[in-house]
Structure 1
């Protein structure tokens, strides 16, 4: 069967779905991946995947650009005549799924997160919900990555009969093995892996770094992630100021996050909303305790007090309190929390679970 995959970011396919795409190819399917052009497309091409570079504005709702994207998806479906279309992320889930519906091609959607625009209420939320209602209406399956997102849409009459839950994007537990817990004699390294944008909680993390560096000098703060260009002017000066003071190590964007993660002691993720946080799944998989917002898409990765702690989202004070709490534990207690996290991930979030669920859906076609 010919499979057309629509997503908004090549790196998302590379990091979280390459095993799934490879499984389709191994099963004899022909796979095409539509993503916006960037340097990550080359990674997918080198794996032997067929990439179709498609212009897509990931942020904002520009009717002219979005209608152009919708028309492009219609053209792709007409040109490649797929047996099934798989959609990921907001715009492909709306415009790609709608195009597949109009072309009467079977399609499967994956809700990787709803975002503030849907959850915040108001006119924009109502418009997006209406669009979701149409685009998801004839989907063979709508996969959700957390129960909270599923309930929000189902309460609004969307995916009431064709929904199913997945454990996020899962984790490749071979690529992300249990790593030895590092020695703490040089300090406790607190790592955040975030895109530099408000909704990922980077502001709260930077505030925590500034306030705790003097109070708890044994803590060492690190940050990994790329800037969102429309918010760079806000966070770049703040990050540079903390780096210049010597209280924050900033890596920027790196391909091998797992290498940095394995050298840290605690991973923090203060996001405002998630489908399912891959950062938390990977951190727990390598045996690190985690601190994260008590929201859908994050709380599922934490057994409170066993492999980490939850805190109130959008609150620097709550984040600071959580960091102080884990810093007060002994080295052995933190190490034990990491081991509990590894066990939890292997049992509940292995990527093979996702591959199996997609194979089941494709078999029905």
Structure 2
């Protein structure tokens, strides 16, 4: 009797798998709906075009949800606090993830960012659903030293990651080789690992426009306004170059992120603008026009996955100045499409920007090379196709 019961369970499991594959359904777990729309919406439209039924589980954001639905996906409300550490709040998010997966019964889950990967990974383990986790940067907990509270959180994440995702039907997509070492930190010796350099860019929407005319060089930092993006070093570099008498304007393009502990405070932003060291432009969806208004893009980040800021800058044909750290150095060709400088070093950042301020011809030639680099490496259609190939590989493997 025991053997018969086991056979029935296996047959039932096989039938469920066959049903899922024929359904071809993908469930995305996302912690930030606007970020998903700006960085990953191509995966929704691409999957829908290839016959997948797509659902996006994310917090409610009316404008972003409307865009997701307009691209053919369903929406499931899933609350997750990206910067929270409340045990109760995390338990609620996990239980809700479990409920959503059990209700939708997807063929495959694609979870984006570490916290979403953890919740969806643990829930999908118990529900026996394959999962692909996309790590677009290791984030605050993995940036810098591993002491104190941050060290405790890092060790806890590694343990939960191992518990929920160290299995044959779990896979990871990393954007650079340094971040891929996370599988070693967490002891994930049974997973499949893929590399895709960035989220891609629509080369038809972001094109190379003529550089601004006029003597003043316009430098911009387009990003969330976080300490880890190098905002404070950028402000100090701007002060240094003003003291040198350089004819340049410095822009911050983006908003603070109140959910991130390293966010710039609004009072600081107001003070910098009042001082005249920078101009502030709030987040804009029209990044193509924002980049066209610049000569140089600066991103002195402490660490990245594969920064979309630099991908977009390349598509716009703009030279970049960025940090010699994982992710950033992967996104440019040093001394061809941009310049590298040490992270957390305002003087070195000022010197690199100054090189482009003083040599407009070099600035423009680097921009032309950057556009060619984008066309060869960052095309959105190519990135979308690679994701779809991975989906199909993981479905067939399961």
- Alignment TM class, shorter chain as reference: over 0.9
Aligned residues: 363
Q: 2:86 aligns with which of 49, 62, 65?
A: 62
SS at match of 2:57: strand
1:116/1:273 contact within 8 Å kept = no
TM-score under structure 1 normalisation? Answer: 0.93
**Structure 1: how far apart are the matches of 2:345 and 2:246?**
22
Q: Which has the larger radius of gyration?
A: 2
Deviations 1:215-252 (A, max 9, x none): 23411111111112266995322322232244422111
Query: Partner of 2:28 in structure 1?
Result: 5
The structural deviation recorded for 1:299 is: 0.6
Residues 1:320 and 1:273: Cα distance change in structure 2 (over 3 Å): same
Deviation at 1:116, TM superposition (A): 3.3
Instruction: Give the CA deviation at 1:88.
Output: 0.3
The offset of 1:149, in angstroms, is: 0.5
Match of 2:378 among 336, 349, 354: 349
Deviation at 1:152, TM superposition (A): 4.1
Aligned-partner SS, 2:178: helix
Q: Which runs of 5+ in 2 are unaligned?
A: 1-23
**How far is the alpha carbon of 1:179 from its aligned partner?**
2.1
Runs (4+) off by over 6 Å? none
* SS, match of residue 4 in structure 1: strand
Please say if 1:213 is aligned against 2:242.
yes
User: Which string of whole-angstrom CA distances, capped at 9 and with x for unpartnered residues, describes residues 265-284 of structure 1?
Assistant: 00001111211100000001
Q: Is the 8 A contact 1:84 1:107 kept in 2?
A: yes
Unmatched tracts of structure 1, length 5 or more = none
1:252-306 CA distances to partner (integer Å, 9 max, x unpaired)?
1221122111110000011112111000000011100001111111111111111
RMSD between aligned residues: 1.9
> Within 5 A, what are the aligned runs for 1:1-365?
1-39=24-62, 40-119=64-143, 120-121=145-146, 122-138=151-167, 139-154=169-184, 156-158=186-188, 161-183=191-213, 185-229=214-258, 235-329=265-359, 331-364=360-393, 365=395
| CA shift digits 1:1-52 (9 cap, x unpaired) | 1110001111122112112210111111110001112243333234343222
Whether contact under 8 Å (2:110, 2:132) holds in the other structure is yes
TM-score (norm 2): 0.86
